[in-house]
A and B are shown apart, each in its own frame.
Chain A
Amino acid sequence: MKILVPVKRVVDYNVKVRVKSDNTGVDIANVKMSMNPFDEIAVEEAVRLKEKGVATEVIAVSCGVQQCQETLRTAMAIGADRAILVQTDEELQPLAVAKLLKALVDKEQAGLIIVGKQAIDDDCNQTGQMLAALADLPQATFASKVEVADGKARVTREVDGGLETISVSIPAVITTDLRLNEPRYVTLPSIMKAKKKQLDTVKPEELGVDVKPRLKTLKVTEPAKRGAGVKVPDVATLVAKLKNEAKVI
């Protein structure tokens, strides 16, 4: 069974992003980029399934600019066997990425698609679900545990108020939550091995997908600054404030 793992190149989670002065987006010039942390968890899970003998090949996929090759090399250093870059300079939105992935799923005949539940840049949380709908595959989102046996994936999901365990038939789309695993550290030997692994590049047109953005960003602003706190003299005043001003009780 092949596992397809889409990975996104995003601003590194340690970077404090700044909104551009014209409010059109976030300034990413000279900013450190790395793999979306949820996707890193997805790669790790796929590699673990391969190490258990469940999967035969792990294919990492990224969509975007040429520099996404670095992200794919990282995925291969974690343990992916080969990689595909769908190269485009166009701004990619979740629907376009889902369509590109659908085309690759059909081409590669992947048994499982493991993808991060959301990217830390746009926080959309849509690509996995859209892909499942487009490819007409069952989906198990927000996975915190994955077991594959007898043509089915038993997935424990993190839902409000607890854990839900579901069983989906394979092929399926799984989106990963934070607690699914802890990705391994990339080592120098694995980095060197990754250099020799196959990395193919395709264009969206070759996959027959129109990636034109459907949504227009009107404005991006920073979150409102937190106001200063106040001291209250007693519990009664606190309760009154919470009730009448904050209106939370």
Chain B
Amino acid sequence: MDFNYSENQGMLADSLRRLMQAEYGFEQRRRIQGAQEGVHRATWLQLAEVGVLGLLIDADSGGFGEGAESLLTVQRELGRSLMREPVIPSAVIATSMLQASGSVAQKASWLSAMARGDFIATPAYLEPHSRFDAAAVRTRAIREKDGYLMEGRKSLVWHAGDSDGLIVSACMDTAPGLTLFLLPTSTPGVKLTSYPTMDGHRAADVELAGVRLPADAVLGSPGHGLQTLQHGLDWGIAALCAEGAGAMEKVIEDTADYLRTRRQFGVPLGSFQALQHRMADMLVQKELALSMAFVAVQALSEEDEALRARMLAAAKYNVAKAARFVGEQAIQLHGGMGMTRELPLGDYFKRLTMLDPLLGDADAQLARFSAAMT
């Protein structure tokens, strides 16, 4: 695997960094977050224009058909700027699920609009009892004469309140296993309760009561939804790992700047060897996380399912662990200033901490790794 950016990826990364620095600075992000409006439409459309939202979508569906390596480039930059828009749930997870299993009509109606930034989709797969087990589903879809009737509850649905469509997992009495359904959020019977999460993102609980869906709402074939869902979540994990590595990079740069500037006992803090050691440890962890992000990207093209699962679980586990370490050390090195709202560090710390529970916490990743060893 070539770890250098291609010419295109380099240009895209440069452009994204400039865009984020100019249009999505710390103050701007705070304002958007404070407004509690969910998706910031102007930023979302800018991301569409630059090509982030259509990155993984085939050219036939209005996207650019880029691969996982470009995803890493983009997510690393978005991580640096602490992007709080639903790029991973919509432009990565939902997109890769639709790409893998969507019918021609589904791709035409959802993916094209998603590439333009006119439509946001998110997977709704977790339930109040399920922890991180995507297969533990109680939501039911009953086959009717001309479609399906859906009943159930989904929880912690990432950015569901800002989404136009959900990809919902459900059990059916006519087919064993999981089945995925494409469900516009405006469908009667769908009730969303939206709330902010610790890292400035948003999530929602979704109640599905007497929701009627047409027969063509099934994504892929009935009973085979778990594979499609896991495929999407795997892409999400790779994106999250790259985002984490990018955020850690920025935290280390900011902390190094602070240590060079802040003086105690007549000298810069950075001149103390004990603090230099901590910075070195943070850098080692960040490099480890970046390497793991590359591993995760490589895993996406791995054909051996067990190996793929092990690579992704190991990557996610290590990135989340490194993120926690880097975040905590950065706060410690900033001293009291690290706890204030004057600096962006607190926001980074919250996001870095959230990397663990998102898409399966450490225990879930270790369980997945162990299961794939047998």
Contacts and interface: CB of A to CB of B under 8 A. Distances in A.
A185 B12 CA distance: 9
A186 B10 contact: no
A1 B50 CA distance: 30
A77 B8 CA distance: 10
Interface in B60-95: 64, 66
A200 to B, nearest CB: 17
A211 B7 CA distance: 28
A186 B12 contact: yes
A192 B18 CA distance: 19
B64 A186 contact: no
Contact of B51 (A70, A74, A188, A195): A188
Interface string A176-190: 000000000111110
Interface string A73-93: 110010000000000000000
A191 B18 contact: no
A70 B50 contact: no
B72 to A, nearest CB: 15
Contact of B14 (A34, A189, A192): A34
B14 A191 contact: no
A143 B18 CA distance: 24
B7 A186 contact: no
A186 B54 CA distance: 15
Interface in A126-175: none
B12 A188 contact: yes
Given A185-B50, A188-B55, A74 B18 contact: no
Contacts of A191: 8, 11-12, 51
Interface in B129-187: none
B49 A187 contact: yes
Contacts of A185: 15, 18-19, 46, 49-50
A73 B19 contact: no
Contacts of B15: 185-187
Contact of B50 (A73, A187, A192, A195): A187
Nearest to A189: B51
B341 to A, nearest CB: 26
Given A185-B15, A188-B55, A195 B8 contact: yes
Nearest to A77: B11
Interface of B: 7-8, 10-12, 14-15, 18-19, 46, 49-52, 54-55, 64, 66
12 contacts: A70-B7, A74-B11, A185-B15, A185-B46, A185-B49, A186-B14, A187-B50, A187-B51, A188-B12, A191-B12, A192-B8, A192-B64
Given A185-B19, A188-B54, A188-B64, 16 more contacts: A34-B14, A70-B10, A73-B7, A74-B14, A77-B11, A185-B15, A185-B50, A186-B11, A186-B12, A186-B14, A187-B50, A188-B51, A188-B66, A189-B64, A191-B8, A195-B8
